[in-house]
Amino acid sequence: MPETLDSDFLAEYEKESYWAESHGISQRTAARYRALGLPFLTFGGFVWIAKREGRQWIASRVKRRNPPRRRARQAITTNTEISAS
């Protein structure tokens, strides 16, 4: 990375390629995430992802399954036989 970038900037942002690699996704997937709303900054011909906001964005997209419904209690059947007379 160029030495002219401020260390504070580098502490808050990372290049899209590095961000994607550190999250185990491809750069193409990261670009798709940008289209879906991932916060980013274009600066110096590179795409920079805000580290904190990126993590928050991913966390906001986690979907949890609804817990399965409890089964209705089966009617307790007694030993009563219904006869067809």
What is the DSSP annotation of 15-44? EHHHHHHHTT--HHHHHHHHHHT--EEEET
Q: What is the pTM of this model?
A: 0.65
Domains of the chain are: 7-60 (1.10.10)
CB 51 within 8 A of CB 14: yes
Query: pLDDT class for 53, splitting at 50, 70, 90?
Result: very high
> For residue 7, what pLDDT is reported?
81
Q: Is the pLDDT of residue 47 over 90?
A: yes
37 CB-near residues (< 8 Å, 6+ apart):
57
Between residues 74 and 24, the one the model is more confident about: 24
Q: Which residue has the tokens 């110096």?
A: 44
Between residues 58 and 79, the one the model is more confident about: 58
> For residue 32, what pLDDT is reported?
95
Mean pLDDT along residues 40-68: 90
